[in-house]
Amino acid sequence: MRFLIDENLPHQLGQILDIDWLHSTRISQQATDTELWNYARENGFILFTKDTDFFDRLLLVGPPPKVIWVRLGNMRKQLLIETLSVRWADITRLIAIHDLVQVHPTHIETMDFPAV
């Protein structure tokens, strides 16, 4: 799995999770959601974001790409990284079989969307 980490998540998240990743700032310093969506779709990346807009795109156009939506609210960067690290095995297992994985403070939810 390859992950495109949105600018609203820490750059070092990919290194800490030891994943195949690209941070959105490598595509463009201020890449638009459309640019990120298209890049992920065309290059086989899973979008990893805190941004609601990518959920909206899944509703409108369906996957690909798949999306990991971090819904943990505002927290210090270190706590965010620790929280995602602890849940990472479950997150990757679920994103392998679902279109959307939502990471909440107390649980993880999944959704699937019909291809449009």
Q: Cβ–Cβ contacts within 10 Å for residue 26, how many?
A: 13
Q: What is the pLDDT of residue 30?
A: 85
Q: What is the pLDDT of residue 116?
A: 66
pTM score: 0.95
Q: Which residue has the tokens 């965010």?
A: 80
Q: What is the pLDDT of residue 1?
A: 95
pLDDT along the chain (116 residues), means of 10: 95 93 90 95 97 94 96 93 96 98 97 85
- Sign of the C-alpha dihedral computed for residues 21, 16, 48 and 64 taken in this order: positive
How far from 82 is each of 14, 19, 22, 40, 89, CA to CA, in Å?
13, 15, 20, 25, 13
